[in-house]
Amino acid sequence: MEHPENNAEYKGLVVNAGIEQPASVNPYLKNRPRRKKRELSVADYVDGIVKGNTTVLGQAVTLVESLKPGHQAVAQEVIEKCLPYAGNSVRVGISGVPGAGKSTSIDVFGLHVLEQYGGKLAVLAIDPSSERSKGSILGDKTRMEKLSVHPRSFIRPSPSAGSLGGVARKTRETIILCEAAGFDKIFVETVGVGQSETAVHSMVDFFLLIQLAGTGDELQGIKRGIMEMADGIVINKADGDNLERAKLAATQFRNALHLFPAPESGWTPQVLTYSGFYNLGVKEIWDMIYQYIDFVKANGYFGYRRNEQNKYWMYETINEQLRGSFYHNPKIEAMLPDCERQVLQGNLTSFAAAKSLLDAYFKD
């Protein structure tokens, strides 16, 4: 249809014909060579970290987590150079089954310690399931809404590649980098499913176990070993209808703890109730943790435990490297499926199979 405005009689505004869209705003742009991102040197990393630059810290953590041998070599150098600046922190492990309220609690705990004690907080995670699910559950920034936007916090999800030992070692190395960057409070979060607690316990000063009051038989579900590792047990969701049950659960835990041998630290593990959601009883938990830190610093256990942890990680690293070297050996990779089949078919005992594999490996 003809526009009435284009009629010669029309006295109003005129509609002009449109112009053709150019193919590209700047046709020369795509020919421009892309500038390569400059790789940081070891000195750049260390300098940035020590100055507290969290962007550089994040890049260094990515390097630690990288599987590329070249990256790992640089990462190890960075870690070594950061070591003299590390160690000055309170490291707290926080564990609990999914749904126990870890993310809700860490958000509240984090804000509390930053307000009450100042300093900077890093939240790291060890999630042994992340390899299988190809994505980390823990340490997800969106789960800690307030903390993730706090200017003095650094949140990093679980490294996702490798064995539990490998994942845990990377988290431990990240602790060193964070400390060198001035983070004086470190939380290490893990899912309460068993093995990962041992890994967390081996890198923290205080191990906090979050529990829920349940059906009255809550103690049965918890492995004795995990309870023995705890320096403090806190029963979450002590609010509303659940308050009395939480108190009852606390009593049951206290009674159960009496049956365990006294911990090496000389500290009696405490059991408290709280509500992360309503922010009740949170101050008491952190008063307890800092009381513990003062106590073990005074009796020498703080330094002793960290030294023991260093020793543990030396052996863990050796074991991990040996295991990797063995299973990635081409001869072993070629022999393994057949050996496994023979053991399954009952043609070969497990010991004989292991011996032939090990002999082949050591003959290299």
For the bound state, the minimum distance from the C-beta of residue 104 to ligand GDP, rounded and expressed in Å, comes to 3
For the bound state, the minimum distance from the C-beta of residue 116 to ligand GDP, rounded and expressed in Å, comes to 19
- Contact indicator for 93, 203 with CB cutoff of 8 Å: yes
**Whose Cβ is closer to ligand GDP: residue 44's or residue 239's?**
239
Residue ranges that bind ligand GDP, judged by CB under 6 A: 96, 98-104, 236-237, 239, 275-277
**Whose Cβ is closer to ligand GDP: residue 94's or residue 177's?**
94
For the bound state, the minimum distance from the C-beta of residue 286 to ligand GDP, rounded and expressed in Å, comes to 16
CA distances from 278 to 101, 104, 209, 322, 327 (A): 12, 10, 19, 48, 50
- Please state, as a whole number, how many other Cβ atoms lie within 10 Å of the Cβ of residue 176: 20
DSSP-derived 3-state class of residue 250: helix
Among candidate residues 165, 166, 162, 157, the one with its CA nearest the CA of residue 131: 162
Among candidate residues 39, 43, 90, 26, the one with its CA nearest the CA of residue 66: 39
- Contact indicator for 242, 266 with CB cutoff of 8 Å: no
For the bound state, the minimum distance from the C-beta of residue 96 to ligand GDP, rounded and expressed in Å, comes to 5
As a whole number of angstroms, the distance between CA 286 and CA 283 comes to 5
Among candidate residues 177, 180, 129, the one with its CA nearest the CA of residue 156: 177
For the bound state, the minimum distance from the C-beta of residue 71 to ligand GDP, rounded and expressed in Å, comes to 31
**Whose Cβ is closer to ligand GDP: residue 237's or residue 305's?**
237
Give the type of residue at 101.
G
For the bound state, the minimum distance from the C-beta of residue 212 to ligand GDP, rounded and expressed in Å, comes to 9
**Whose Cβ is closer to ligand GDP: residue 45's or residue 274's?**
274
**Whose Cβ is closer to ligand GDP: residue 5's or residue 145's?**
145
**Whose Cβ is closer to ligand GDP: residue 177's or residue 235's?**
235
